[in-house]
Amino acid sequence: MLHAGLSERLGLSFGLVVILVGLAVLVLSAALGERPGIGTLVNVLGVGWVIDRLLATSWLDGLPDAALWLRVLALAGSVVLLGVGAALYIGAAFGAGPRDSLMVACHHHGWPIGASRVGIEVTVLLVGWLLGGALGLGTVLLALGTGPVVQLTFRVLGEQPPSRRVRAPAQVPQNVR
């Protein structure tokens, strides 16, 4: 919703908005101590580019008019694939994408990974809605479901998000001169 609202208001392509918002979120993640990796760059640029290419095709045109069971299956599959995919690529430790970096930064500041993602997604949902984005049941379910699936996937894999935190400068103890 955020990207759709901004795209509409700014007259930019959806994919370009994804890239620009991604860069802004990465700045916030870096301020919280998360360092980008090569996967971060690939995610920021690649996802926006692929979205614009996909939207230029007719591949998804029939989905809104498809049978209800197919739309429900597509929605459920999307939530699961986003959550599992995020946990897998974050676990590879090549750097996370924008929202995932922010989710990991929140996790490293004491928040559960699932709650971090839900908080980010609900915030984005609300801002997108205020910008005029279309709010639907699928948007809400995606916002509420992706974080718990990421957390569950990490738990099933017996993993935690790797730390790509920027190291703080070494502190010299005060009693050493």
CA angle 42, 152, 161 (to 5 degrees): 45
Q: How far is residue 93's CA from residue 113's CA, in Å, rounded to a whole number?
A: 16
Q: Is the pLDDT of residue 164 over 80?
A: no
Higher pLDDT pick, 75 / 167: 75
d(CA 5, CA 10) in angstroms, rounded, equals: 9
Q: What is the pLDDT of residues 57-87, one digit of tens each?
A: 998 888 889 999 999 999 999 999 999 999 9
Spatial CB neighbours of 1, under 8 Å, sequence gap ≥ 6: 124, 125, 127, 128, 129, 131, 133, 134, 135, 139
Question: Average per-residue pLDDT in the chain?
Answer: 88
Tell me: pLDDT of 159 over 90.
Answer: no
The two counts, helices (H) then strands (E), for the chain are 7, 0
